[in-house]
Chains A and B, each alone.
Chain A
Amino acid sequence: MEPGWVCRIFRDWAVCCAGLLAVGGQPAAAAPQVPTAGGARLDQLPQQWRDDRGDRLPLASLVGHRVILTMAYATCHKFCPATISNLGRLQQALDARGEQVDFVIVGYDPDSDGPATWHRYRAHRHLNRSNWHFLTGTPDATAQLARQLGFEFWKYDDHVMHDVRVVVFDAHGVLANAIGSGTRDWSAVL
């Protein structure tokens, strides 16, 4: 390697990082409103789901408390971990209020991620609270739920291409709010 290569690499690197930080520090435009999928109801969604223990869990059975729902796949390391982490912060905020809310994570890829996979997933990440539900359905039910709730996704071999999206149902099971990529303050939806 040429002498001074390391210095030149890090000089160029520092210039690039400074540029990125300058760009990233610009005030963002106002986040677009996240569509809420038109007042969908929990009891109108597909109901044939199994949780990570293999037990049936109809979504309609969760009516009575607010429900925060998202979709994910177990080998996602791009956006799903951040989404789950943000849901954890919402849980903390709700705990502070003393409000009981159900968190539902529906698997995008039931062919790859069954109940056993989700069981390992939640154990590995210490997501063991009883109000957190990791659900697996049939491919058709998964696609239908995604359509009804506005979760756009497609499979690229073993990868699932998807956006960041979380929806919030009120205590009556009616879709009330949604969180998307542009949402800055997740707690505002509560």
Chain B
Amino acid sequence: MSIHTPSRWRVAALAALMAGALPSLALSASTATDKDKLIELQKKLDQSIHMIDALAGRVRELEARQAAVAAAPPVAATPAAAPATAEPAAAAADQRISAVEQKVSQIETANATRHSDDSGLPLHGFADVGVGNRNPYFPTYKGFYIDNLDFYLTPHLGEHTRALFELNNEVGADGSVGIDLERAQIGYQFSDRATVWIGRFHTPYGFVNTAVHHGAWINDALRRPAFLQFEDHGGILPAHTVGLWLTGSEHAAAGRLQYDGYVGNSQLIEGGVVDMRNAGNAHGKLIVGGRLGYQFEGGSLDGLTAGVHAFSASRIEDDLPIPNATRVTAYGGYLTYDSDQWEHNAEVYFFDDEDLSGTTGSHHSNAEYVQFGYRVSWGVPYVRFERTDLDQTDEYFLQQISGGSYQRAALGTRFDLDSRSSIKLELAETHLTDRSRERFAEEQFQYAIRF
């Protein structure tokens, strides 16, 4: 057997081993994070390249020795034959090494471009905890609190089918931890212009209700305006609707036209809180609404969005022994300015409600807030003013625990610790203006993360 054969087979065997080892190395690191995997792959590749260099040196040494041995007997006759034989041998070795390097590169490419398993379900979410002289949502409590552990799931289902689930572990008014399927929507995306969702979604009115979801980290402010909180956190509007929602946007002129239309189960006031009737309602009445906005892009108005919204819930009852029923009609507008430097929001809501029980007639109320924020390198300081003037003879508000009128001024800031965690501070003064005349100051601290 010539001296070439075992060396060639060793190189080929090593290349085959690396070809088999590299995928298994990748698999063995599959449970680590992506960053850990990349670091590990890089280390292994460096080791492989060192090994190739060492093998190449060994091949050249062996072939040079063989050339020297083959040329040795007729030493005087052909002294020039040794270099002439060594050159083609070295070139052949270089070719084999190049082939091995190319194979390693192909393996690396195949591994890097390997698609992740499409049947997997990435799990992401948010969590927040805090402390304050009052609980930010249930002001009768004081001290440390846990708020949300919010899981966000969007399984990849194909080119057009969409699904979104937001499963929230949250603390309720009684201090117990409950699990809420806050959003459960399955939809079909026809195009950028139109997606239809069915399920439980955030009712598309105003700005905050569809821009700031349950993950506290996403909100630059420590909390939503009180009247726009989720139903079980003191909000007075139907923040969730179970029904059908058409949404889309269209590029138009200097920006984008945004539109929403929805229909769903008319709500019920249960235990003093608006309930969105996940399983349907007893009377089959509906809430119908829509929103139209325009987002400027480019030019001097870049970042400005203006819109109007309205909804009418044809019959909202309460859970009294002799229930009241109200047709709730709300309409209003919103204005936001969102740029690299500023974050300003304002929303106004007008209520024209009709007592369907036939005793108190029509009622008119309003609620509004304005918030100004300034973006700096470390976060977002903000100031906010909120006000509601709710007719307390309107059963829709009277039967809600949080249906009283109030005013609030707040000064706060968000401080980004890194790209995944932030702390927020808020100092606020709240004045209840009809059910009681209580005033109280709040000092709030929140630690919010995303993962």
Binding site for B on A (CB under 8 A): 1-2, 5, 8-9, 12-13, 16, 20, 24, 35-40, 44, 75, 77-79, 81-82, 111, 116-117, 120-121, 123-124, 144, 147-148, 150, 152, 154-159, 161-164, 181
Q: Which residues of B contact A38 (CB under 8 A)?
A: 38-39, 41-42, 45, 108, 112
**Besides the contacts A120-B297, A120-B302, what 10 more A-B pairs have beta carbons closer than 8 Å?**
A1-B409, A2-B441, A9-B429, A38-B112, A75-B338, A77-B339, A81-B375, A124-B302, A155-B154, A157-B213
Query: Which residue in A20, A78, A117, A154 is a CB contact (below 8 Å) of B124?
Result: A154
Q: Which residues of B contact A75 (CB under 8 A)?
A: 338
Contact count band on B: 35 or more
Q: Which residues of A contact B115 (CB under 8 A)?
A: 144
A156 engages B124 (CB within 8 Å): yes
- Please list 30 pairs of residues, one from A and one from B, whose beta carbons are closer than 8 Å in the complex, sorted by A's number: A1-B409, A1-B431, A5-B429, A12-B427, A35-B35, A38-B38, A39-B42, A39-B45, A44-B112, A44-B113, A75-B338, A77-B338, A77-B340, A78-B416, A81-B375, A116-B251, A120-B298, A124-B298, A144-B113, A144-B115, A148-B112, A148-B113, A154-B154, A155-B154, A156-B152, A157-B210, A157-B213, A158-B211, A161-B124, A163-B419
Task: Give the docked Cα–Cα distance between A146 and B122 (Å).
Answer: 15
Q: At the interface, yes or no: B140 with Cβ under 8 Å from chain A?
A: no
The 4 A-B pairs at the shortest CB distance, nearest first, are namely A120-B298, A38-B42, A81-B340, A163-B419
Q: Which residues of A contact B420 (CB under 8 A)?
A: 163
CB distance from A67 to the nearest CB of B (A): 17
Q: At the interface, yes or no: B344 with Cβ under 8 Å from chain A?
A: no
Q: Which residues of B contact A158 (CB under 8 A)?
A: 211
Q: Which residues of A contact B340 (CB under 8 A)?
A: 77, 81
B34 engages A150 (CB within 8 Å): yes
Binding site for A on B (CB under 8 A): 34-35, 38-39, 41-42, 45, 108-109, 112-113, 115-116, 122, 124, 152, 154, 164, 192, 210-211, 213, 215, 218, 251, 297-299, 302, 338-340, 343, 375, 377-378, 409, 411, 415-416, 418-420, 425, 427, 429, 431, 439, 441, 443, 450
Q: Which residues of A contact B419 (CB under 8 A)?
A: 78-79, 162-164, 181
Task: Give the docked Cα–Cα distance between A129 and B251 (Å).
Answer: 26
CB distance from A11 to the nearest CB of B (A): 10
Task: Give the docked Cα–Cα distance between A40 and B41 (Å).
Answer: 11
> Closest A-chain residue to B416, C-beta based?
A78
CB distance from A39 to the nearest CB of B (A): 6
CB distance from A138 to the nearest CB of B (A): 11
> Closest A-chain residue to B154, C-beta based?
A155
Task: Give the docked Cα–Cα distance between A8 and B442 (Å).
Answer: 11
Q: Which residues of A contact B338 (CB under 8 A)?
A: 75, 77
> Closest B-chain residue to A40, C-beta based?
B112
Query: Which residue in B38, B122, B164, B431 is a CB contact (below 8 Å) of A154?
Result: B122
B35 engages A117 (CB within 8 Å): no
The verdict on A1 contacting B343 (CB below 8 Å), with A39-B42, A156-B152 known, is: no
Tell me the interface secondary structure of chain B in the complex: mixed
Task: Give the docked Cα–Cα distance between A30 and B7 (Å).
Answer: 47
Task: Give the docked Cα–Cα distance between A38 and B109 (Å).
Answer: 11
B38 engages A37 (CB within 8 Å): yes
Task: Give the docked Cα–Cα distance between A76 and B415 (Å).
Answer: 17
> Closest B-chain residue to A165, C-beta based?
B419
Query: Which residue in B42, B122, B218, B427 is a CB contact (below 8 Å) of A9?
Result: B427
CB distance from A68 to the nearest CB of B (A): 19
B124 engages A13 (CB within 8 Å): no
Q: Which residues of B contact A24 (CB under 8 A)?
A: 378
Task: Give the docked Cα–Cα distance between A35 and B32 (Å).
Answer: 14
Q: Which residues of A contact B34 (CB under 8 A)?
A: 147, 150, 152
Q: Which residues of B contact A152 (CB under 8 A)?
A: 34
Give the interface centre of B42, B115, B154, B164 by most chain A CB atoms within 10 Å.
Answer: B42
A82 engages B377 (CB within 8 Å): yes
B38 engages A35 (CB within 8 Å): yes
Q: Which residues of A contact B299 (CB under 8 A)?
A: 124
A2 engages B35 (CB within 8 Å): no
CB distance from B360 to the nearest CB of A (A): 33
A159 engages B218 (CB within 8 Å): yes
> Closest A-chain residue to B296, C-beta based?
A120
> Closest B-chain residue to A84, C-beta based?
B340
The verdict on A44 contacting B109 (CB below 8 Å), with A77-B338, A150-B34, A164-B419 known, is: yes
Q: Which residues of B contact A81 (CB under 8 A)?
A: 340, 375
B215 engages A13 (CB within 8 Å): no
Q: Which residues of A contact B427 (CB under 8 A)?
A: 9, 12-13
Task: Give the docked Cα–Cα distance between A152 and B211 (Å).
Answer: 22
Q: Which residues of B contact A111 (CB under 8 A)?
A: 192
> Closest A-chain residue to B126, C-beta based?
A156
Task: Give the docked Cα–Cα distance between A13 and B116 (Å).
Answer: 48
Task: Give the docked Cα–Cα distance between A44 and B429 (Å).
Answer: 58
Task: Give the docked Cα–Cα distance between A77 and B355 (Å).
Answer: 45
Q: Which residues of B contact A39 (CB under 8 A)?
A: 42, 45, 108
Task: Give the docked Cα–Cα distance between A40 and B34 (Å).
Answer: 14
Q: Which residues of A contact B38 (CB under 8 A)?
A: 35-38, 150
Task: Give the docked Cα–Cα distance between A120 and B343 (Å).
Answer: 20
> Closest A-chain residue to B33, C-beta based?
A152
Q: Which residues of A contact B429 (CB under 8 A)?
A: 1-2, 5, 9
B124 engages A5 (CB within 8 Å): no
> Closest B-chain residue to A146, C-beta based?
B34
> Closest A-chain residue to B114, C-beta based?
A147
B45 engages A9 (CB within 8 Å): no
